[in-house]
Amino acid sequence: MNAGKTVIAVIFAVSLISLGGCSIMQSSKVSADSTVEGFKHVALASVSDAVDQVVGQRGFMNYDMRPIVGKGFVGRARTAVFRPADKLPQGTELTLKDGTEMIDNAQEGEVGIIIVEDGLNIAGIGGLMSTAAKSRNLAGMVIDGGVRDIEEIKRLGLPVFGRSITPATAVNRYASIGKDITVQCAGVTVNPGDIIVAGTDGIVCVPKEKAEEVLKKAQEIDATETKMVPYIKKYKSIQKAVEEFNRI
């Protein structure tokens, strides 16, 4: 093969590689979770109202589920449950492996949820588990129970919501009884794959089978309220805005 043909062959090969790279990028974009992304751009209060209207039941967690570290996140749920030793058959192995395995198997952008039954005085997560969650690029962690090692978690930059702060460990006090199962978290049923929307107002769980419908309704609520603000300012009246937009 002469030099000219060699150059042409190389250019052709590079072109094929480039095209392949483009198709990979396009495929990656297509596979992104557009519903999760959509919830990142609507108000948490609108999501709560939309769940009320679309699902017909509350999606908001109890008032004491608060941001311990960070401000908020959105992602699909992974779950694990810890139960007190005194509520388990004698001789049960007191291991928290379902919680650690849940984190180790979670995908980037997902939300880890740990239920610590009767656990406001017990930490369901601390520095070590938070390090693992951060290393796997989880969107955040939700603990129906306590949180410890707060300063360490702050340094990690992992968003964590919980119901209390306590130095007490769950080790040798609790055993895990399952992972990636339906759970009751701060008053709300959460299934694996449901969308968790967390912010400074609290947390709302969006059932996965209704997620697109809830997102559309939340966007509509946001749009209506955006129109109401200048109307209220103009007439200096909330009542006039309510009458005009049928919304408060």
**pLDDT tens-digit readout, 34-73:** 999 999 999 999 999 999 999 999 999 999 999 999 999 9
Distance, in Å, from the CA atom of 40 to the CA atom of 75, rounded to the nearest integer, reads 9
Q: How far is CA 218 from the centre of its chain?
A: 17
Grouping H, G, I as helix, E, B as strand and the rest as coil, residue 40 is coil
Residues 147-159 have a mean pLDDT of 98
State residue 147 phi and psi, 5-degree precision: -130, 140
State pTM to two decimals.
0.84
Q: What is the mean pLDDT of the chain?
A: 87
One of 3.40.630.30, 3.20.20.450, 3.40.50.1980, 3.50.30.40 is the CATH number of 37-209, namely: 3.50.30.40
Q: What confidence score (pLDDT) does residue 21 get? A: 39
Residue 16 in this model has a pLDDT that exceeds 90: no
Domain ranges of the chain: 37-209
Q: What mean pLDDT is predicted for residues 167-185?
A: 97
- pLDDT at 248 (0 to 100): 61
Considering the chain, what percentage of its residues have pLDDT values greater than 70? 83
Instruction: Give me the pLDDT at residue 15, please.
Output: 41
Rounded to whole angstroms, the Cα distance separating 187 from 144 reads 10
- Residues 219-239 have a mean pLDDT of 80
Quick check: 28 pLDDT over 60?
no
Model confidence at 20: pLDDT above 70: no
